[in-house]
Each structure stands twice: as C-alpha cells, then as structure tokens.
Homo-oligomer: A and B are copies of this chain.
C-alpha cells in the first residue's frame, strides 16, 4: 500500500471524533502515516486532500457546531473526495440500515476500503457488500459492530486458525446484562432495574430493541453470516428477551449459586441461532457483571476461550475502528 494513506470519516459524533483524534495523535507520535483527507457531520463537510488540521477542525466544530463547509455533504466526500479508506460512523437506523449502506456501497464501488461501526448494513446486506468489496479488491471491516471493545472478529478470523468453532455463546447486549446483574445482586424488580439503567445512560430512551433481544440477535446474525458463512436473517432466529425474567426467578437461581444472563448462541453444525435468557453457574466465565460483554468459543483444539470487555462506549468503538484501519494498512 502506498506510503501516505488518506482516510475519510463520515460522522463526527463521539466515535468519529475519537477516531480522528486517535489517528492524529498516532501520526504525531510517528506510529501512523495516515492523514485525514475528509470529514463530515450531518450539516457540513471538510475536504483537504493533503490532510486536515484535526485540532483546528474540532475546535471549529466545538465553536460553530459544524466541521466544515455547509455547502458540502457526506455524499460529496463519498463520491468525489480523495480517500483510500472510508470510516463510516454516521448515525444510521439499524433496521433500515440507511444511509450507511448507500455510503458503503458507493465507497467500495470507487475502490476504497471501508470500516464501519454500523450494524445494519452488515446484518442486512453483508453478502452484497462483501461481493462488491471482493470485486474491487478492497476490504470491508466491521469489528465495532459486535461486542464493543472485544476484538472478536480479529480473533475468530486470525488468532485461532486451525480450530473448529463448535459453538459460540455470548453476552452481546450490555443493557440487558446490566439489568440482570442489578436484579440478581440487589433484588431489584425488572422495572426498577430498567429505570436505573435508563438514568445511568445504559439503556436507550426506547429500550425495546435491547430488552426484547433484537440487538443481541443482530450481532448473532452478523457473526453467523460473516464468520460461519451462513446466510441468515432475524427471521431465522429464535429470540427471547429479558422482559419475562422475574425477580423471583433470579432469587430461585441465586439459591443454587446460579444466575440468569441473556445469551446469544450459535451452533453452526446444527444451524442453531438463538437469543434467550439462560441459567448459568455464577462461577462461569461468561457471567460478567454490569454492562460488560463476554463471548465464549467452544473449539476443538484450544478448548473453551472466553473474552470479556466493555460492550459499548465511544472509546471502545474507536478502539475497534482503529484496529480495523491498521488491519487494512498491514494487509495492503
């Protein structure tokens, strides 16, 4: 890959700002030779083929609310700015997957690599987008879409090659895990724990996608389709959320040194794709507290491997995106 790589970042929320700040710091520390050639927020865009002064741009955005020229937009960047890698972290509805899918499609068709944190395009359109990436000899990376800071896609793709993955079990939604932890540890009822999660910012204003299990199920779909070469959608899954888990049930399990967690499950040979509350021994490595995520892989050689980390947060998502960018740089 050529020596100075140009990166365009679509979306300057906490994650987009984290990515440009991290890349800027790494360039100043001489640990990266990437430059940011374009950025956009919802109301403007900034295109500088020789590299944007990140500190000045962020200071301007802080002051004026926009990062660049209001006459320019994300589409101007995607279709005509110079970039080798598109970092697509735009606000995107997970169920419609737009506008992220449109952006990703256009960037891949231009022959640019794409790194995204948006689950929708990967859950709904992975086959199409992966085919497009292959056709143009570029990479499509999406570590940030599953399990937050845990580098689970890197691990599955590269770190344990030679192993057969017999099953994957994961705590893939931090909100549900927080609620179940608080019910179990403090004896809160479900409405009390949900209210607490809302107040602390762990639950969305509308927490339905979390508590019904849809968010965890979307991550199961992504893992099944990208790692296990399946072609499933949410309709192929059995999904049970945590709304029916009562404080009585948690009290009963506690008496047996067990507890309840919402587990996403893939058993590839049996085509089992499921999200459901399950009873686990309290000492099981998957039983993590609060808003953590955790994934256990059952493998033929390495045995059981468990990975635990924060499931969400702008720094954690930034970490996943930066690791994807460096993956592309190293493979190029």
Question: B-contacting residues of A (Cβ < 8 Å)?
Answer: 18, 22, 26, 149-151, 154-155, 158-163, 283, 285, 288-289, 292, 299-310, 313, 315-316, 318-320, 322-323, 325-327, 330
Bound complex: CA of A133 vs CA of B204, how far in Å?
A: 52
Bound complex: CA of A173 vs CA of B289, how far in Å?
A: 25
5 A-B pairs with CB atoms under 8 Å apart are A22-B301, A151-B155, A302-B316, A303-B310, A306-B306
Residue of B nearest to A163 (CB): B319
Chain B residues with CB under 8 Å of A301's CB are: 18, 22, 149, 315-316, 318-319, 322
Chain B residues with CB under 8 Å of A162's CB are: 22, 26, 318-319, 322-323, 325-326
Bound complex: CA of A37 vs CA of B310, how far in Å?
A: 45
Would A309 and B304 count as touching, CB distance under 8 A?
yes
Would B149 and A154 count as touching, CB distance under 8 A?
no
Selected from B160, B302, B307, the residue in CB contact (under 8 A) with A306 is B307
Q: A276 → chain B, closest Cβ, in Å?
A: 23
Would A299 and B319 count as touching, CB distance under 8 A?
yes
Would A158 and B327 count as touching, CB distance under 8 A?
yes
Which 5 pairs show the lowest CB-CB distances between chains A and B?
A162-B322, A151-B159, A149-B302, A301-B319, A302-B319
Residue of B nearest to A32 (CB): B162
Q: A151 → chain B, closest Cβ, in Å?
A: 4
Secondary structure class of chain A's binding surface, majority of residues: mixed
Number of copies: 2
Would B305 and A305 count as touching, CB distance under 8 A?
no
**CB within 8 Å for A304 and B315 given contacts A161-B326, A162-B322:** no
Q: A162 → chain B, closest Cβ, in Å?
A: 3
Q: A286 → chain B, closest Cβ, in Å?
A: 10
Bound complex: CA of A44 vs CA of B326, how far in Å?
A: 45
Q: A294 → chain B, closest Cβ, in Å?
A: 8
Chain B residues with CB under 8 Å of A163's CB are: 319, 322
Residue of B nearest to A284 (CB): B289
Residue of B nearest to A152 (CB): B159
Chain B residues with CB under 8 Å of A285's CB are: 285, 288, 292, 308
Chain B residues with CB under 8 Å of A299's CB are: 319
Selected from B149, B160, B300, B327, the residue in CB contact (under 8 A) with A323 is B160
Q: A228 → chain B, closest Cβ, in Å?
A: 15
Would A302 and B310 count as touching, CB distance under 8 A?
yes
Would A310 and B315 count as touching, CB distance under 8 A?
no
Q: A331 → chain B, closest Cβ, in Å?
A: 8
Chain B residues with CB under 8 Å of A305's CB are: 149-150, 307-309
Bound complex: CA of A189 vs CA of B70, how far in Å?
A: 72
Selected from B26, B151, B289, the residue in CB contact (under 8 A) with A160 is B151
Chain B residues with CB under 8 Å of A303's CB are: 149, 309-310, 313, 315-316
A-B contact sample (12 more), CB < 8 A, given A26-B162, A159-B323: A22-B162, A149-B302, A151-B155, A151-B159, A151-B160, A158-B326, A285-B288, A301-B316, A302-B315, A303-B316, A306-B307, A306-B309
